[in-house]
A and B are shown apart, each in its own frame.
Chain A
C-alpha cells in the first residue's frame, strides 16, 4: 500500500486542479461570455434593482397578487439561532415539508389551508398544488387551475373584471412542448408583474 501513497497524493492534486479548478472556471468563463443571462440566474431587473429571478418563487401575501404554493422553507430564528422559524420562499435554504402521506401534521395543515380557501369563498374543489408544499419551497409555478381559482379574488382586490384577469392568466399559461413535455403551469412572479402592468 505504501508504494501507492505517492501516486495517490499526486493524483488527488492533479485531479483537484483539473476537475476542481480548470473545469468549473472554464465553464464559468464560457457561460459568462456566451450565456450571461442564464449564467447569472435569469434575473429580472426593474428600475435598476433586482426584483427576483424568473426561476425562483416569491412569497406573495397581499390579496392584490396571485399567491404561489405553500412553502416549507425556514430560516434561523432571530431570537434563538439554534431554532428555526417558518420563512416561506427563503431562497437561501431550499427544502420541502418532508411530511409523509399518513402524517397527521400534513392532513391538519392541508385541512387548515382548505378551510382558509373555503373561507375566502374561492373554490369548490381545491387544486392540489394550492394546499401542498413544493419540494424546494421555491416553486415559481402554480397550476392554471389554482391560478384561475384565484382570479376573482385578485380581480376584486384590484377592481378589475374577472374576465380580464382570467385572460391574463391564460396568456401567462405555459403549455406542454409538443403536447408532451412539461406540465401546464403559470409563473406566479411573471403573472403578477403582468398584473401590475395591467393598469
Chain B
C-alpha cells in the first residue's frame, strides 16, 4: 500500500460524497413530485408519457397495486428484450451480422437486464448487435435502475407517511426517476467519457493493419452512451466482455475515476434523499456514513491484499512491488482496481475494471462478501437503500429492545408482520446462494464449468450465485456461465434476488405507511449517532458472517492460508 494509492482512493470517495449530498436533495424533490431545475425541459415529455400510457399521475397506489405495476412492467420488459435478442438477425443495425441469441442465453440475459443485474454470460462484442445493445440493453439499464429507485422510494414513503393507504404511483416514480435523474446525468457523463476517449459510433468493427503487418479487427460501437448509464444506474453490463477493463470502455485513469464516481454517486445520494424525505437529515447522514465505512473498510482490505503481490509468484522472481497484476490493467494499478472491485460490489453495479477471479484470496473475499451482504455499501440504485433499510429494521428490532421499548424505527413500530416480511426477504439470499451453490458442486455439469480447481473453484460458483442473487453481475469470470445449467439457475437466482426480495419489502412499505408515527423522546432508540452506526455495522457483519462463514472458510479463507503455505491447485 502506498500513500499515492491511498490518495487515489480518497480523491474518488471525496468527490462522491461532495456530489451525493446535493444530488440527494435533488432526487428527493424529484420523487416528491416537486418542480426542479429541469422541469421546464422535461415536464412536457413527462405529461406526454402519462397521456399516452393512460396514467393519472395524481392517483396514488396501494403497495399491492404498486407491486403489480412494477411486475407488469418487468414482465413486458422481459418479453420485449427476449424477443429482440432472438430476432436480432432479422433486424437492422447489425453490422457484424450476428445471429439470434440462443434461447437459454437470451432467457438469462433478459432476466439479467430486467433485474438490474447485468450478469453477462455473453461477450458483448461477439453476441449482441448494436440494435440489441441500444434498444434492449441500454433501455433496461435506464428503466431497471429507475424501477429500483421507485421501489426504494415506496419504502421511504412508508417511513415518511403516517396512516396513509398509498405508497406512491409506480408509473410516476419510474418516469420521473428516468427523466429527471438518470437521463440528464447520463448525457453529461457520456459526453465527458467521449472527451476522455470512449468511442461513440455506429460502426461495428475497424480493420487495422498492425505495425508488424498483422490484421487486427477492433470491435467498436455506440458505447459511451451505454457506459454512462451502466455506471450511473449501477447496471454493470459492459459493451465488451472485459467490461470497464477494456481500454475503449475506460481509456485512462480519469475515465476510471469518473466511472467509479458515477457508480457510487446515486446510491449514496439516496441515503441523503432518505434523510430529506423523512425530514431528519441526521437519519440519512447516519445511513450514508455507515455505507461509507463499510465501503472504505472493504476497499482498504482489498487494496492491502492486492498490493502485496502473489507470494507464489514473488517466490519465483516476480517483482511484488506493483502488487498482484494478474488480471489488472497497467493504467489503473492495484489501488483503483481494488477500489473499483469494492465499489462495484458495494453497489449492485457489477462492472469491473479488473478480473476479480484473479484477485488474491482476501482481495476476492471483499467483493464476494460485499455481495453476500446484499450490496448495501452504498448499494444499487434503489436496491441499496431498501436492502439497507431491511437490515436496519432487523438491527433496530434486536437492539431496540435493549433500551426497554418495543422496537421502532423512525417512529414506526416494528411488529410481527414487518418482522415476518423482513425475514422472508432476508431468507432468500442464503436459500438461493447456498442452495444453488450446493447443488452445483454436486453436479458434473456444474463442476465442468470451472476454470480453477480447489477452494478457488468453490469461490467461483459461490461468487456466481452471490452475484446473480444480489443482482450485481460481476463475476469470477473463469466460470463458464453460458451453459444450460448456469443460464437457467443463475437466471432463477436473479429473479428470486430481485422479486422475491422486493415484494416483501414493498409489503413492509405498505404496512409502515399505514401505521401511526410514534413520537420520539430521549427514551426512544436513537438511530442517528455514532452508536447506531457502530451497531449497524456490527449487526450487518455478524449477521452475514454467521450465514456464510462455513462457505467462505472452504473458499477464500482456506485458499488464503493455503496460498501462504505455498500450495497450488
A-to-B contact residues, CB < 8 Å? 1, 4-12, 14-16, 18-21, 23-24, 27-28, 30-32, 35, 38-43, 49-53, 55-62, 65, 69, 89-104, 106-107, 110-111, 114, 125-129, 131-143, 145, 176-177, 179-183, 185, 189, 192-193, 196
**Cα of A85 to Cα of B297 in the assembled complex, Å:** 41
Q: How many A-B residue pairs have CB under 8 A?
A: 389
Contact with A along B192-218 (1 / 0, CB 8 A): 001111111111011111111010111
Chain A min CB distance to B305 (Å): 10
Cβ contact of A138, chosen from B52, B55, B247, B476, cutoff 8 A: B247
- Given A8-B75, A126-B318: A19 and B138 interface contact (C-beta under 8 Å): yes
Cβ contact of B355, chosen from A6, A38, A96, cutoff 8 A: A96
A sample of 5 more A-B contacts (CB under 8 A), given A12-B77, A19-B143, A91-B218, is A4-B65, A39-B194, A39-B200, A53-B208, A134-B329
In the assembled complex, which residues on chain B have CB atoms less than 8 Å from the CB atom of A91?
A: 208, 216-219
**Cα of A5 to Cα of B45 in the assembled complex, Å:** 21
Chain B min CB distance to A73 (Å): 9
**Cα of A35 to Cα of B193 in the assembled complex, Å:** 11
| CB of B553 closer than 8 Å to a CB of A | no
Cβ contact of B178, chosen from A7, A15, A41, A49, cutoff 8 A: A15
| Centre residue among B71, B214, B251 by max chain A CB count within 10 A | B251
| CB of B139 closer than 8 Å to a CB of A | yes
Cβ contact of B452, chosen from A43, A103, A176, cutoff 8 A: A103
Is A102's CB under 8 angstroms from B455's CB? Answer: yes
Is A30's CB under 8 angstroms from B191's CB? Answer: yes
* 9 chain-A/chain-B pairs, Cβ below 8 angstroms: A19-B141, A23-B138, A38-B199, A41-B206, A93-B241, A101-B312, A102-B312, A128-B323, A180-B7
Closest to B170 in A: A4
**Cα of A58 to Cα of B217 in the assembled complex, Å:** 11
| CB of B54 closer than 8 Å to a CB of A | yes
**Cα of A28 to Cα of B317 in the assembled complex, Å:** 48
| Centre residue among A89, A129, A142, A143 by max chain B CB count within 10 A | A129
Is A100's CB under 8 angstroms from B134's CB? Answer: no
In the assembled complex, which residues on chain A have CB atoms less than 8 Å from the CB atom of B241?
A: 93-95
- Given A50-B208, A55-B248: A41 and B330 interface contact (C-beta under 8 Å): no
| CB of B174 closer than 8 Å to a CB of A | yes
In the assembled complex, which residues on chain B have CB atoms less than 8 Å from the CB atom of A65?
A: 211-212
Is B247's CB under 8 angstroms from A21's CB? Answer: no
**Cα of A76 to Cα of B32 in the assembled complex, Å:** 53
The segment from B101-109, B389-397, B561-569 found at the interface with A is: B561-569
**Cα of A47 to Cα of B452 in the assembled complex, Å:** 46
Is A89's CB under 8 angstroms from B211's CB? Answer: no
Is A27's CB under 8 angstroms from B200's CB? Answer: yes
Is A176's CB under 8 angstroms from B139's CB? Answer: no
B-to-A contact residues, CB < 8 Å? 4, 7-8, 11, 45, 49, 52-55, 65, 68-69, 71-73, 75-77, 80, 123, 125-126, 134-136, 138-139, 141-143, 171, 174-175, 178, 183, 186-187, 190-191, 194-203, 205-212, 214, 216-220, 222, 224-226, 229, 240-242, 245-248, 251-254, 257, 309-310, 312-313, 316-333, 352-355, 357-361, 364, 451-456, 459-460, 476-478, 559, 562-563, 567-569
In the assembled complex, which residues on chain B have CB atoms less than 8 Å from the CB atom of A140?
A: 247, 331
Closest to A36 in B: B201
| Centre residue among A10, A98, A114 by max chain B CB count within 10 A | A98
Is A35's CB under 8 angstroms from B194's CB? Answer: yes
Chain A min CB distance to B506 (Å): 14
Closest to A139 in B: B329
Closest to A143 in B: B330
Is A16's CB under 8 angstroms from B355's CB? Answer: no
Is B49's CB under 8 angstroms from A98's CB? Answer: no
Is A96's CB under 8 angstroms from B358's CB? Answer: yes
- Given A5-B72, A53-B218, A99-B326: A24 and B246 interface contact (C-beta under 8 Å): no
In the assembled complex, which residues on chain B have CB atoms less than 8 Å from the CB atom of A24?
A: 134, 138, 200, 222, 225-226
- Given A28-B225, A92-B205, A102-B569: A134 and B330 interface contact (C-beta under 8 Å): yes
In the assembled complex, which residues on chain A have CB atoms less than 8 Å from the CB atom of B136?
A: 20
Is B322's CB under 8 angstroms from A129's CB? Answer: yes
Chain B min CB distance to A136 (Å): 4
**Cα of A111 to Cα of B7 in the assembled complex, Å:** 34
**Cα of A141 to Cα of B240 in the assembled complex, Å:** 19
In the assembled complex, which residues on chain B have CB atoms less than 8 Å from the CB atom of A61?
A: 212
Chain A min CB distance to B339 (Å): 13
**Cα of A43 to Cα of B247 in the assembled complex, Å:** 13
In the assembled complex, which residues on chain A have CB atoms less than 8 Å from the CB atom of B460?
A: 100
Closest to A1 in B: B68
Is A101's CB under 8 angstroms from B324's CB? Answer: yes
Chain A min CB distance to B432 (Å): 23
Is B312's CB under 8 angstroms from A107's CB? Answer: yes
Cβ contact of A142, chosen from B75, B330, B476, B568, cutoff 8 A: B330
Is A41's CB under 8 angstroms from B253's CB? Answer: no
Is A4's CB under 8 angstroms from B210's CB? Answer: no
- Given A102-B562, A107-B312, A176-B4: A135 and B329 interface contact (C-beta under 8 Å): yes
Cβ contact of B69, chosen from A8, A18, A189, cutoff 8 A: A8
In the assembled complex, which residues on chain A have CB atoms less than 8 Å from the CB atom of B562?
A: 102
Chain B min CB distance to A109 (Å): 10
